[in-house]
Structure 1
Amino acid sequence: MTGVTTNTALSPETRTPVERAAPSRRLVVDVLDVVIRSIVPVLLALGAGAILLLALGRDPITFYSNIWKGGIELTAWQDSAVRAAPLLLIAVGLVVVFRANIWNLGYNGQFLLGAALISGFGPRLVGSEPRWFALVTLTLLAGAAGAVWTLVPALLKARYETNEIITTLMMSFIGVGVANILIKGPFQDPTVNIPQTRVLPLDKMLPAIPGTRIHVGVLLALAAAVIVHFVLTRTSFGLRLQILGANPRAARHVGLNVPRLILMSFLVSGLLIGMAAAADILGTWGYVRANWNPAYGDTVIPFVFLARLNALALIPFVIFYAVLSTGGDLATQQASLPTDFLLVLVALILLFMTVIEYLGRRRALGTSYLTPGLEQALRYSRRRRKTSE
């Protein structure tokens, strides 16, 4: 029977127990990797925060229980969900560019410019057009403002390979200034002394789910996370972004249109960040004051990396921070602490995330979720340290 060949290597009966157990072991290792790199930094930060509270003469159990009461109990979870909407949209927008190893750090300018535009045109539009038409138009306007504000860094990066960190920060600074000029100028409400836009009527803002305070902006943010995750993991566009992020030279070598990918990733990121402004203004505030800057992007960046640039995994992390932020208002007030203490907790999360990533790479625990640029900087610092020794 020379015509029949048997591949014993593929036969389950011929595998050793170790070989048969390999897939399950890999699964355990993968789960451990996720827990160590994503959840442990949060737990360590909360533990370090408890030690800091003790050093300040506060009871950490009472502090964290107040966070739970203010962010979860009764109907407080609805406020946390509303607060999570703009945070999630910004975080998802950052995932798109970070997947391509591109740094869009102009989120503050993109957000505030979109917020100023919809706050300025909103009262006029909702007063003359049907509610849904006005809300959709304003949301698209905010998204378009965020996308357009990324064009200069995107074109400079695509055409001349200019460092996008510098250009996005520059455009953010300009965007914040332009937003304040608009609020103090043509968009200012003449009936108040404080420079701010006119307030949108409550019945003209984003509608809420019946029986709750959760507006449709929360649903928009969740839908955006699901759609972006699908696009990045199940489409050719997502694969091309992944190739570009892993190795730009290889992306050019295989014939990918790198300038177009850079431009598209910037535009999608700016669009989502601008829509975050719409969810926040049309769903919560209804107006914008001059010099207002919530700096949402600065607070969600650590959670973007904790989620390992996964749009779906972002949802629980952003909700966690929203609960921390919402309940933290009550907790810090009861403990007679400034609200900046919550930023200390976020900074501790970032610190422990970096330490665990460093230790994980030394012990080969798994695949790093840091971008190639940060990995290269880490290797360079190691070489410098060995040389100095």
Structure 2
Amino acid sequence: MKYQKRKKAIVLLADGTVFHGKVVGGKEGSAFGEVCFNTGMTGYQEIFTDPSYFGQLMVTTNAHIGNYGTSEKEMESDSVKISGLICRNFSYNHSRPAADASLEEFLNNNNLLAISDVDTRALVSYIRDNGAMNAVISTEVDNIEGLKKQLADVPDMKGLELASKVSVKEPYYFGKEDATFKIAALDNGIKTNILRNLAARDCYIKVFPYDTSLSEMEAFNPDGYFLSNGPGDPEPLENAIQITKQIIEKGDPLFGICGGHQVIALANGVSTYKMHHGHRGINHPIINLETGKGEITSQNHGFAINREEAEANPDLKVTHLHLNDKTAAGIKMVNKPVFSVQYHPEASPGPHDASYLFDQFISNIQNHKKTTA
């Protein structure tokens, strides 16, 4: 434990509400973004490196963060993607033999501002009541008015295109080249564990930048297509939506997760909307309407698709519902090998209840190959 006096810090919300804390380590300054919270008890490193969190200030509801350190094996991308961290108790010491470094070292190496000793229960309760909003965390505790002016210039998440900020710049490959199936994945902010799950099912994946054309993806001669998760509002992703329409027209197998789910909905004329405060955690209950079985799932999204429009669309079937608020959590096309879910079956972190969806994708590919042989 560190005993030196730590610098004071604040959380300033867009509506002027202030929460107090102390800075972690010696980093000073300010970090801006939309404030959100994750209810997971574990998996903080995966959360911090998930590209879907780009541009957001993360509040962790678990009281202790950092107690098991960090590991290179648990990265979901090549760097930290959150704008800043807000927590209750920060553990400077860790006790996991498999760890490569402490969380403090990890955050310092990624130049991330973090503050602790915040009343996170009060902060999360406030977000739940008042909705997600922009915020700033800062060590400039005596510059409230100046921070308010800077915060006013931060764009809202609604309408914000962020895939270009996190997508790969050049295509790359994942898995074994001699694998049975070839998958073309459009990267709007893909998580590494999604690729691991596909590779574990004998897939060789080529990951393409967010602005790739379908003809470039077709040149890989894939057996199926994948639309990744990603940050920001899905509506501005015009290229992804257009590519999805073309894949649907061709009739090729397509699987979308989270942001990919929203893109598939938009390609079918179903609108999306910004949620009050989103779903973020590893204990969200889902009902599979086709099997009647429940799933405990990992989720991270601030946008959702319009359930009523999806149910009214003759080309779509709603396959999964979130049991807390009855939002549409999964859809499939009635006469095409196309489906998607709002949550994260790769579960990193989280339970593995939904991993069968990757098997469903492979089954769709196998059936499609039989019918087109």
TM-score calculated relative to the size of structure 1:
0.23
Structure with more strand by fraction? 2
> Higher RCO, 1 or 2 (CA under 8 Å, sep at least 6)?
1
Structure with bigger gyration radius: 1
Structure with more helix by fraction? 1
TM-score calculated relative to the size of structure 2:
0.24
